[in-house]
Structure 1
Amino acid sequence: MSSLSRNSRIDNIKGVLIFLVVFGHLIELHIAGAHVLHSVWLFIYSFHMPMFALVSGMFSKASLDEKQSNQLVKNVVIPLVVFEIFYEGLELLLKGNLSVYSGLFAPYWMLWYLLSLLSWRLLLPMFSRLQFPVMIALGVSLVASYSESTGYFLSISRTLSFFPFFLLGWKMGPGFFDGGKKRLAFVSVPVVAIAITASFLLRSDFDYRWLYGSYSLNRLGMANMTGTAYQIAQYLVSLTVGMACLHLLSLRNWGLAQIGQRSMYVFLWHGLALIVLQQTGMLNEIFKLDHALALVIAVIASAIIVWLASHPWCEAMTQKLLLKPMSWLFIKAQGVSMPTPPKTMDVKVSTLEP
């Protein structure tokens, strides 16, 4: 692993995290009454989105110049708009009406992350000037959770909930996991083991909505200091378990750097794959099987989706057919200026008249 660059190291981590996103979404609607699936889902959701926010922050800069602004529009705004139209159009085609998210004036399903990422990146230059940006963002999140104005609307609640992790990633920087310290595994391994065990021992009536970051304390029925204490405990658990997992992932080459580099395309397209599986009834058939067998098939199906969506041809076709055609609408064309002619010696050219 020492031969890998810091980007490769993080790309391997992103490859695992994006698999967990796909796998978590695939089993999400079928965890009720399935103890094994429910426990695995709880473990994944205890850390995977906070850590995705943290990794996104690692490669973000506090400045926002013209070049970085164009990259933000190209890599976040355009995919958000294009796939928002795509998925809402698909909902209209399949069901005859737009999704419930449109009524909430919220991004479609998993696209909330792109809108939140855009918000975090725009807020970063301001928060980077503060003395204690992470703690202030945490305080804002805890206070805002009492308001009914937050929630799915424009992904405000999730933006505020996961912003402290994004800022923490920015403070850590892209080289945080360089030269992964194997001696710390004696801490990380027990932490992960305890987290997995706790996920299996947790009561089945645990309110999983706490893990989404999209519900106010009023909606969760705990708009009091106890609810705030729960939130703080959740931040500590997510950070502890997440950092332990990322540390273990950084210790070796998992061969997933290529997938991590194209994790955006997995993120954008896995929703379509899951919709197809749901509409054809294949997903329901999978989870009618024995829970252990269903888990194995779900892992294989998720791996296939990740492999297909992260393939270079998928990137090329997505760029050619969807993203690049929209770039003219969002990215201002750069003016072309004539080069200044070099200074030359005075030469009589009267004899060179045409």
Structure 2
Amino acid sequence: MFHAASSPGQNRTPLPQTQSPAPAPAPAAEPGLRRASEHRGRPGKQRDPFFDNAKYLAIVLVAVGHTWAAVKSDSRTLEAAYNVVYTFHMPAFIIISGYFSRNFDMRPDRLKRLITGVVVPYVIFETVYSLFRIFVGHSDDQQISILSPWYLTWFLCALFVWRLTAPVWRLVRWPLPLALGIAMLASLTPGIGEDLQLQRVMQFLPCFVLGLCMKPEHFHMVRRRAVRILSVPVFVVALAGAWWTVPRVNGSWVYRQSAAQDLGAPWWAGPVMVLVMFGGAVLLSACFFAWVPSRQTWFTALGTGTMYGYLLHGFVVKSVLYAGGFDAAAVHTPLGSLVVTVVAASVVTLLCTEPVRRVFRFAVEPRMEWAFRQSSGAGAGTGTAHDHSGSASRTARPESVSA
């Protein structure tokens, strides 16, 4: 800044020395947006407990949903609840993943985290799950194919594709309509096949792009008391609607993994159902987020290890399935379904704890410093918005994965 210039030979009274005004006190954080310090050795890097709480609750729903899949056939009510949960539980995860991918670019340190946090775990778990299916499940399919994700490893494959495309979605003018258009086109293209689960990648893409477009105030809006109250009748209506549709609508639409023709529906049903499922996912995810605690809770720390719970609980579910545990008559009663639900929630909670994470960190969050060249760039090692899926006990990984 410059004071007014004096003309040569002109006497002016010197202007008094300006003093910088005292800095105004920082505004108090909005309720529910205050962040608790989380990272060790990284002052200033903080986490919002809301997102860790949301990821933990969502991973519980994922595990419960996988167990319900084995016992829901005898109960129309349970199948309705299953369809409601499957409408929003993975979209909620994907929205959070997109939100924390907003600053992803092709910087070497971020690409390194993408490789170690997504690609390597995908290769490891896809291989191990395939061997598990062959030798424990005695499957007739004896192939191990990295290009054909099996069971729950599709999410890592999808996250890799989505995150690589994040810079493109920040560049285009109308990212969400474009993503919806791609999803609609995919839903009427049965020839896509199972390679990299591209049907799911494209049909879930709008949820990821929505997360990319969101800002902190959007999450704050859905956490208001009014939204929390309104979410109760919304869920009731959703359950009632799902109960009505169970015998009338093919439940496979909730998986977003098939084109309309694959489900025996007319071609135009694909784009229509993409819009219906996306609208339902956004509405129910908002209702879900409304009930997620914003404060530190007993399970907040578990939310930092949801990728462990996600990748490991499949072995437990499939082991029980292969052993015939879901065939017992007692499991197919209302009380049995309740017990299965509690056990599934307890098991996935255990798999998110620190002792389990220490044992399996080599596969879920490998460091692999030996595999990369040492970067001397100024930007290496610095992060932006933290992706809350990384382990809290390790060095901050701003763009790790979300389960």
Shift of 1:145: 1.8
1:83: which partner in 2? 125
- Offset at residue 211 of structure 1 (A): 0.7
The residue aligned with 2:325 is: 282
Please name the residue that 1:192 is paired with. 235
Select which of 123, 132, 136 maps to 2:178: 136
Contact 2:79–2:246 at 8 Å: present in 1 too? no
Shift of 1:325: 6.7
Aligned residues: 334
Deviation of 1:304 (Å): 1.9
Q: Tell me, what secondary structure is at the counterpart of 2:319?
A: helix
Structure 2: how far apart are the matches of 1:323 and 1:234? 31
CA-CA distance at 1:273 after TM superposition: 0.8
Q: Pick closer, same or farther for the CA change 1:259–1:300 going to 2, 3 Å.
A: same
2:69 match? 28
Find out whether 1:8 has 2:49 as its counterpart. Answer: yes
Aligned to 1:272: 315
Shift of residue 284, structure 1, vs aligned partner: 2.2
Q: Which residue of 2 aligns with 1:332?
A: 372
1:326 is displaced (CA, Å) by 8.2
Contact 1:20 / 1:44 at 8 angstroms: preserved in 2?
yes
Q: Structure 1 residues 141, 100: CA separation in 2 closer, same or farther (over 3 Å shift)?
A: farther
Decide which moves more: 51-60 or 229-238.
229-238
Partner Cα distance (1:335, 1:133) in 2? 33
Is the 2:227–2:287 contact (alpha carbons within 8 Å) kept by the matching residues of 1? no
Q: Which structure 2 residues correspond to residues 90-239 of structure 1 after superposition, within 5 A?
A: 90-96=132-138, 99=141, 102=144, 105-174=147-216, 176-178=218-220, 180-239=223-282
Partner of 1:74: 116
TM-score w.r.t. the length of structure 2 is 0.76
Find the aligned partners of 1:220 and 1:197 in 2 and give their Cα distance.
23
- TM-superposed CA distance for 1:245, in Å, is 1.6
Structure 1, residues 157-206: CA drift from partner, whole Å, max 9, x if none?
Answer: 01101111101111113563248321332332221221122223333242
Q: Is residue 151–residue 158 contact of structure 1 (8 Å, CA) maintained in 2?
A: no
- CA separation of 1:100 and 1:249: change in aligned 2, threshold 3 A: farther
Deviates more, 1:192-201 or 1:300-309: 192-201
Work out whether residues 181 and 251 of structure 1, in 8 Å CA contact, stay in contact via their aligned partners in 2.
Answer: no
SS in 1 for 2:192: coil
Cα distance between partner residues in 2 of 1:107 and 1:257: 30
Measure how far apart 1:230 and its partner are.
2.8
The aligned amino acid for 1:275 is K
Aligned to 2:347: 305
Task: Give the Cα separation in 1 of the matches to 2:143 and 2:375.
Answer: 39
> Residues 215 and 12 from structure 1, CA distance in 2 versus in 1: closer, same or farther, beyond 3 angstroms?
same
Measured in 2, the distance between the counterparts of 1:82 and 1:11 equals 25
- TM superposition shift of 1:98: 7.0
Gaps of 5+ in 1: 338-354
Distance 2:98 2:326 in 1: 34
- TM-score by length of structure 1 reads 0.86
From the superposition, tell whether residues 177 and 100 of structure 1 become closer, same or farther in structure 2 (CA, over 3 Å): farther
Structure 1, 32-41 or 109-118: larger mean CA deviation: 32-41
Aligned counterparts of 1:223 and 1:263: Cα–Cα separation in 2: 38
Q: Secondary structure at the match of 1:69?
A: helix
Give the CA RMSD over aligned residues. 2.6
Equivalents in 1 of 2:236, 2:295: separation in Å? Answer: 19
The structure 1 residue matched to 2:90, chosen from 34, 49, 59, is: 49
Q: How big is the shift at 1:216?
A: 0.9
Cα distance in 1 for partners of 2:34, 2:229 equals 23
Q: Is the 8 A contact 1:59 1:174 kept in 2?
A: no
Contact 2:71 / 2:332 at 8 angstroms: preserved in 1? no
Taking the aligned partners of 2:289 and 2:143, their CA distance within structure 1 comes to: 32
Contact persistence 1:270–1:305 (CA under 8 A): yes
Moved over 3 A (4+): 1-4, 95-105, 173-176, 250-255, 287-290, 322-326
> Structure 1 residues 99 and 64, CA, compared in 2 at 3 Å: closer, same or farther?
farther
Query: What is the CA-CA distance between 1:250 and the residue it aligns to?
Result: 4.5
